Amino acid sequence: MANSEKTSGAGFLKNLVRNQCFIPVAALLLLAVFNLIADPSFFRITLGYNSAGNPVLSGFIIDIINNGSELAILAIGMTLVTAASGGQDISVGAAIAIAGSVVLRVLCGGNARPETLQAPIIVAFLVACVVAMLFGAFNGVLVAYFKIQPMIATLILYTAGRSIAAWINNNELPVISDPKFAYFGGFIPGIPIPTPCFIAIACMVVIGIVLKVTNLRLYTQAVGINQSSSKLNGLNPEMIKVLAFVILGLCVAVAGLIKVSRVSSINYSVIAKDIEMDAILAVALGGNALSGGKFNMASSIIGAFVIQCLTTTLYKFGVSSTALPAYKAVVVILLVVVSAPTVREYFNKITQKMKLSKEVA
């Protein structure tokens, strides 16, 4: 009986390890345990009041969820792009700069220090959505119709994006003084949980419903696994690739709104810097093949929070923001080496050998 229990336990473990969410969740748990041992105060959440007198929650966990929101939103779009095109969009950081710049431009109406908002926030956001989706479509058309590798096609916007963002606002740095605008990246009065969390959850729910109700998942995966066979089955692979990039554009617009709302202003060369790398890492950490095909949205989103958790942990240990990438790189290398197919095979062989020797004994 003990024997059968053991085997079922092993089977459960095997299923668990095979689940795509295993790697990001395990990494998250590992980080949590590490923080618990190093300093339990990491998990403390305190309720305080901000300068406006509103109740706000603070603590490292809240920081992770708050700052990880943009990354999680981007990870959604990046997963789709990766799955459909087998490449990554490296222009998201630059596109966020453009979207943020558009939001500010519409709100300010050409004046860098407006007393009142020149347009409703929703209008500014919608304009930013349209612009970001157009840029997404531009990337998508280059990838789908001109058959340029996604990384290279998006290199164009990566090079030009921040320049375009500066050009939209005439290289001025508009500042919005209206406190309402800061709600999107901060706190709504009376609600102690940061607003970006709600926005991120809303995005997750929307994409969850879309994947459940429509054929988006099936079509994207079909195009990613084999483009020509999906074409033979009556799909339009080009359209689906463009669609993936447009959806990423929408995600970029949402992330851009949060980013500019956090500071009520913009710094063209710093805003969302290196976020494209984090977003790609989130997708890779989620165990999705970067060469396209099958994807798991949930594990990508968990991957995004793992990256943010890692960042916050490193900050907490006094790593300066400029040195941060070095530590991140070490962690990333460890992760990709552990999850590399050849390394896994090697470990499988070793465990099998051990089993064999046990049986013989």
Per CB under 8 A, residues contacting other proteins are 88, 142, 146-149, 151-153, 155-164, 166-167, 171, 277, 280-281, 284, 290-291, 320, 322-330, 332-333, 336-337, 340-343
Q: Which is nearer to other proteins, 153 or 253 (CB)?
A: 153
Distance, in Å, from the CA atom of 172 to the CA atom of 182, rounded to the nearest integer, reads 20
How near is the Cβ of 249 to other proteins at its closest, in Å?
Answer: 17
Q: Which of 191, 241, 160, 156 is nearest to 54 (CA)?
A: 191
Residue 99 contacts by C-beta under 8 Å, 6 or more apart in sequence? 128, 129, 131, 132, 252, 253, 255, 256, 257
Cβ atoms 298, 285 nearer than 8 A: no
For residue 191, which amino acid is it? I
How near is the Cβ of 167 to other proteins at its closest, in Å?
Answer: 5
How near is the Cβ of 271 to other proteins at its closest, in Å?
Answer: 15
**Residue 342: Cβ-neighbour burial (10 angstroms; 0-12, 13-18, 19+):** exposed
Q: Which is nearer to other proteins, 155 or 298 (CB)?
A: 155
Distance, in Å, from the CA atom of 83 to the CA atom of 166, rounded to the nearest integer, reads 32
DSSP string for residues in 182-218: GGTTS--TT--S-HHHHHHHHHHHHHHHHHHHSSHHH
